[in-house]
């Protein structure tokens, strides 16, 4: 029997071990561990990749969100609309800046629904945070319309969507700031925690830069209370290696998604993410391959019995389903999705054979169910 873990960290490290060890050694020998040349080079290259003025490397995606929300001007008491299908970190960033996160329902692609966002907006709404989930960028047309009409602060949680685009525009570049996570399982993952934010606004950049370093400016003056939220040089050096071949990794993920789509799209009991070529407005990077499945828990058990790892994003619960956080909301679409969602393995260490093996067992599960019904 094959063994396909949901994610295979050692395999991905082994593929380029020599290159990683070389740059790690170089940083260690240089003695520059914090705020050094690798960080600067990574920020410059990522800014060039995204076509933005500023990239600021930070400790992780959560700190990217906190610095972005704060620097973009959300203040105590402000309501911020946030997609309900997200990691708690999106809402936590709003909360830590004194704002009130208001969860918004999602559409069929698991992303913020423009109509639901409009319906949730009140006179207290000051900001909006679409979450560019699973490597797909939200349909930004209705969101940008709302932003312009209400003059909202727009911070994208694009932690899962580096390189994804809508109408040729990269996730993270639509509004005041965008954020990225380099958590090891991310499309651009480092060997620990890491993150960045991007912006074209000089004032947002200046504020975010000082927030990540105790509120200090480049001459050492403390201009505000800040955090210790710097991206260290070893992680930046590893990220620079990976960024230089990033487009290849994305192409590989899109190829794997194409195979899943060919193999599974005719099964009525599951709903798949849009296929890579389904819609010319979206370029998806397939950070995750999140499906919806009937008899989900039995399917997961069936796949586990065949050596295939699957997971439920966020442990199976989204923002308003954690009572302690008191973010209640009437969100029927996402409530229905969370009963059926699960993620199949998706990362560049997978071989095409692995995707066929997984697909065979998904098919077998539903055809044996159909036979039992007949």
Ligand X SMILES: Cc1ncc(COP(=O)(O)O)c(C=O)c1O
Binding site for ligand X (CB under 6 A): 60-62, 86-87, 89-90, 131, 157, 159-160, 181, 183, 193, 195
Nearer to ligand X, 101 or 359 (CB): 101
Q: State how far the Cα of 198 lies from the Cα of 175, in Å rounded to an integer.
A: 10
For 290, the 3-state DSSP assignment is strand
Nearer to ligand X, 121 or 162 (CB): 162
Shortest Cβ distance from residue 265 to ligand X (Å)? 26
Shortest Cβ distance from residue 60 to ligand X (Å)? 4
Shortest Cβ distance from residue 320 to ligand X (Å)? 16
Nearer to ligand X, 87 or 366 (CB): 87
**Are 201 and 186 within 8 A, CB to CB?**
no
In the Cβ-directed half-sphere of 154, how many Cα atoms lie within 13 Å? 24
Q: State how far the Cα of 226 lies from the Cα of 224, in Å rounded to an integer.
A: 6
Q: State how far the Cα of 317 lies from the Cα of 286, in Å rounded to an integer.
A: 21
Shortest Cβ distance from residue 9 to ligand X (Å)? 15
Shortest Cβ distance from residue 283 to ligand X (Å)? 18
Shortest Cβ distance from residue 179 to ligand X (Å)? 7
- The per-residue b/e assignment along 200-223, b for 16 or more CB within 10 angstroms, e otherwise, is bbeebbbbbbbbbbeebeeeeeee
Sign, CA torsion 332/127/77/231: positive
Nearer to ligand X, 302 or 320 (CB): 320
Residue closest to ligand X when measured from CB atoms: 61
The distance of Cα 76 from the centroid of its chain, to the nearest Å, equals: 26
DSSP state of 231: P
Nearer to ligand X, 183 or 260 (CB): 183
Nearer to ligand X, 56 or 264 (CB): 56
């Amino acid at each position: 029997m094959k063994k396909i873990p949901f994610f295979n960290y050692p395999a991905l490290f082994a593929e380029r071990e020599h290159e990683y060890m070389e740059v790690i050694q170089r940083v260690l020998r240089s003695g520059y561990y914090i705020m050094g040349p690798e960080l600067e080079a990574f920020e410059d290259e990522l800014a060039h990749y995204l076509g933005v003025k500023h990239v600021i490397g930070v400790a992780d995606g959560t700190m990217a969100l906190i610095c972005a929300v704060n620097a973009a001007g959300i203040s105590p008491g402000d309501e911020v609309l946030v997609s309900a299908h997200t990691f708690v970190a999106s809402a936590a960033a709003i909360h830590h800046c004194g704002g009130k996160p208001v969860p918004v329902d999602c559409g069929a692609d698991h992303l913020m629904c423009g109509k639901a966002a409009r319906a949730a907006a009140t006179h207290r709404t000051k900001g909006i945070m679409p979450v560019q989930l699973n490597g797909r960028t939200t349909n930004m047309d209705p969101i940008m319309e709302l932003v312009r009409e209400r003059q909202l602060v727009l911070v994208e949680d694009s932690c899962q969507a580096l390189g994804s685009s809508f109408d040729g525009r990269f996730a993270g570049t639509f509004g005041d700031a965008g954020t990225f996570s380099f958590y090891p399982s991310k499309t651009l993952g480092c060997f620990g925690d890491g993150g960045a934010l991007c912006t074209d606004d000089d004032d947002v950049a200046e504020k975010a830069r000082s927030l990540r370093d105790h509120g200090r400016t480049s001459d050492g003056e403390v201009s505000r209370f800040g955090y210790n939220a710097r991206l260290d040089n070893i992680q930046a050096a590893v990220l620079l290696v990976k960024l230089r071949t990033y487009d290849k990794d994305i192409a590989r993920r899109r190829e794997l998604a194409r195979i899943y789509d060919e193999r599974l799209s005719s099964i009525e009991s599951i709903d798949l993410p849009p296929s890579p070529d389904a819609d010319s407005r979206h370029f998806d990077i397939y950070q995750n391959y999140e499906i919806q499945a009937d008899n989900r828990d039995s399917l997961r058990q069936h796949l586990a019995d065949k050596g295939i790892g699957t997971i439920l994003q966020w442990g199976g619960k989204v923002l308003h389903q954690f009572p302690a956080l008191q973010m209640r909301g009437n969100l029927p679409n996402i409530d229905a999705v969370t009963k059926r969602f699960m993620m199949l393995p998706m990362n560049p260490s997978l071989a095409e054979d692995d995707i066929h093996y997984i697909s065979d067992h998904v098919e077998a599960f539903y055809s044996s169910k159909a036979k039992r019904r007949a």
